[in-house]
Structure 1
């Protein structure tokens, strides 16, 4: 792995918190992701399933974690099953985890090779009443591929049909949404790498540069700072491309006078950052561009102040809508009649700001979190208002990642990343 070792105390705490929520005499199983094929013998780069990583720190394919806190045999209360390494694998693929190294990473003493899994599972399944399966219940999930987790769950339910079944997802949704200080430090490192990439871009951008060249500059800076790369598919959208919310082609030339919307974030140790900045290709905003830019920034600043313990996510978005409505009126993009006659289900401001303002972020860019429950301290949210004006040929979005504090304003993990229009112009022209 490119990232520095993580204290295994994080994973020990995470398992303790999870098992405390389990039913009596129950067992939970978590699987690594598959390595997904492309064609012929080509595969996608491996990405670990975030849940097994959260609970163990194991960042390797073909791994299984079993938690059975009430197991009569103490050594089987936490078990890792790993792919057995050998000389051939070492030569062709490189180092895999040994049992000793797995203990160092995870804090789990009982490690078996995968070939022993069915035998050990039979023993412990006869000793439990309920098995927790790990289903993907994220509110934005749309999965067509059968995962390794799915296949294991199918096998488990067929082999042991008399066991009661429970779900890990509701427990993980709550646990993962509230970050440990170690996690916040890892996210800060991801944001710091993103900052380095952005500062590099401010010196690089000029008229006639291509969007993909900007993407390449970010990737260069991310890799040289121990990141695997982008936390999500990057958006480098110049001119009217910025008005396509999920524009990812990044294949156009940036023209003098245009703006570039950059929705880009580095990952670090599987943790995400999520930044959006909008910059002028020529190094200077026009008066109109700067007026819209400053409107978006004002909404972001005021919206951030609302992210405090007890805030309701849905009500928060209603209040942000009011802020945006006021700015759009001042910009002349909507008028009072538009507001008076608006559809409550699609307010007037939605014509120019049609997406949400905040989402949880952590191990996933759109991270776990139950949005019908009040916000809590140490949750991390994005704040990302935008104004999109196709008829004027530009769109502006600004986004930071902030940590909710027990008291006072949220802590901005991106406070050192330039955002004020004047500062961006100064750096681009210095």
Structure 2
């Protein structure tokens, strides 16, 4: 891994929080992700399942975490099962976790090789009454492949049909949404790397540059700062491309006078950041672009202040809609008749701002969190309003990542990344 090793105390705390919420005589199992094939002998780069990482720090394929707090013997209460390493594997694939290194990473003393999993599990199943399986219940999830976790669940249900089943995901949705101090530091580091990339491209962008050249500048800066790369597929959208919300081709030339909407950020140690900025190709915004830009910035700043403990996500978006409606009236994009005749299910402002303003962020860019439950301190949210005007050939989105505080305004993890028009123009015209 490129990142510095994370202290095992974080994962020890996370396991304690999880096991404190499961039923008596329960056993929970978590599997790593697969390495996914492309074709022939090609594979995609490995990306660890965030839940087993959250609970153990293990960032390696073919790994299993087993938690059984009521097991009769102490060495059965936390177990890791890892692919057995060897000199041959070390030569061909690189060093894998040894049992000693796995303990250093995770704080788990009992480490077995994967080949012993079924034998060990068979004994533990005679002691437990409930097994917690780990299904994906994220509100944005659409899974079309059979994951390693899903294959395990099918195998387990067939082999042990008499045991009761419970779900780990609802517990993890709540736990992972509230960050520990160590996690906030890791997300801050991802934001700091993103800042370095953004500052680099401000001096690079000029008329006729290609969108993919900007992408290349960013990945260079991210990787040289110990990131694996982009936290999500980057959006580098010049001109009217910005009005395609998930434009990812990044293959067009940036023309003089246009804006570039960039939704692009670095990961660090599997933790995400999530940045949007909109900059002028020629280094200066025109008057209309400035007016729309500042309208979006005002909405972002005012929306951020609403992210406080007790706030409900749905009501928050209603209030942000009111802010945006006022700005669109001021820009002449809406008039009073549009508001009077609007469909309550799709308000008039949605013509120019059709996506949500905030989502949870952490180990996943769209992280775990129960949207129907009130916000809490140490949750991390994006704030990302936008105005999209195809008829005028540009769109603007501005996005920061903020931590909900117990009292006062949220703490902006991207506070040092340029966002004001004057600073961006100054940096682009040095």
Bin of the TM-score, shorter chain as denominator length: over 0.9
Give the structure-2-normalised TM-score: 1.00
Match of 1:185 in 2: 185
Are 2:83 and 1:83 equivalent residues in the alignment? Answer: yes
CA apart distance, 1:279 = 0.1
Distance in 2 separating the partners of 1:308 and 1:251:
40
Match of 1:336 in 2: 336
Query: What is the CA deviation profile of residues 275-334 of structure 1, one whole-angstrom value per residue up to 9, with x for unaligned ones?
Result: 000000000000000000000000000000000000000000000000000000000000
Match of 2:398 in 1: 398
Match of 2:293 in 1: 293
SS state at 2:424 partner: helix
Match of 1:375 in 2: 375
Are 2:407 and 1:407 equivalent residues in the alignment? Answer: yes
SS state at 2:427 partner: helix
Q: What does residue range 63-74 of structure 1 map to in structure 2 within 5 Å?
A: 63-74=63-74
Query: What is the CA deviation profile of residues 157-201 of structure 1, one whole-angstrom value per residue up to 9, with x for unaligned ones?
Result: 111000000000000000000000000000000000000000001
Match of 1:202 in 2: 202
Distance in 1 separating the partners of 2:281 and 2:323:
28
Q: What does residue range 162-311 of structure 1 map to in structure 2 within 5 Å?
A: 162-311=162-311
Distance in 2 separating the partners of 1:26 and 1:160:
14
SS state at 1:16 partner: helix
SS state at 1:212 partner: helix
Give unpaired runs (5+ residues) of structure 1. Answer: none
SS state at 2:203 partner: helix
Match of 2:15 in 1: 15
Distance in 2 separating the partners of 1:250 and 1:56:
37
Match of 2:157 in 1: 157
Q: What does residue range 61-140 of structure 1 map to in structure 2 within 5 Å?
A: 61-140=61-140
Distance in 2 separating the partners of 1:350 and 1:296:
14
Distance in 2 separating the partners of 1:316 and 1:371:
11
Query: What is the CA deviation profile of residues 234-258 of structure 1, one whole-angstrom value per residue up to 9, with x for unaligned ones?
Result: 0000000000000000000000000
Residues paired across the two proteins, number: 430
Distance in 2 separating the partners of 1:115 and 1:147:
20
SS state at 1:66 partner: strand
SS state at 1:142 partner: coil
SS state at 1:204 partner: coil
Distance in 2 separating the partners of 1:125 and 1:213:
55
Distance in 2 separating the partners of 1:265 and 1:53:
21
Distance in 1 separating the partners of 2:153 and 2:180:
29
Are 2:36 and 1:36 equivalent residues in the alignment? Answer: yes
Match of 2:2 in 1: 2
Runs of at least 4 residues off by over 6 Å: none
CA apart distance, 1:87 = 1.2
CA apart distance, 1:422 = 1.1
Distance in 1 separating the partners of 2:115 and 2:87:
17
Give unpaired runs (5+ residues) of structure 2. Answer: none
Query: What is the CA deviation profile of residues 192-227 of structure 1, one whole-angstrom value per residue up to 9, with x for unaligned ones?
Result: 000000000100000000000000000000000000
Match of 1:54 in 2: 54
Distance in 1 separating the partners of 2:201 and 2:140:
31
Distance in 1 separating the partners of 2:86 and 2:126:
32
Distance in 1 separating the partners of 2:87 and 2:294:
60
Distance in 1 separating the partners of 2:125 and 2:137:
25
Query: What is the CA deviation profile of residues 122-149 of structure 1, one whole-angstrom value per residue up to 9, with x for unaligned ones?
Result: 0001110000000000000000000000
Distance in 1 separating the partners of 2:152 and 2:84:
19
Distance in 2 separating the partners of 1:91 and 1:6:
26
Distance in 2 separating the partners of 1:115 and 1:355:
47
Distance in 2 separating the partners of 1:336 and 1:19:
55
Query: What is the CA deviation profile of residues 35-63 of structure 1, one whole-angstrom value per residue up to 9, with x for unaligned ones?
Result: 00000000000000000000000000000
Distance in 2 separating the partners of 1:151 and 1:89:
25
Distance in 1 separating the partners of 2:119 and 2:39:
34
SS state at 2:321 partner: helix
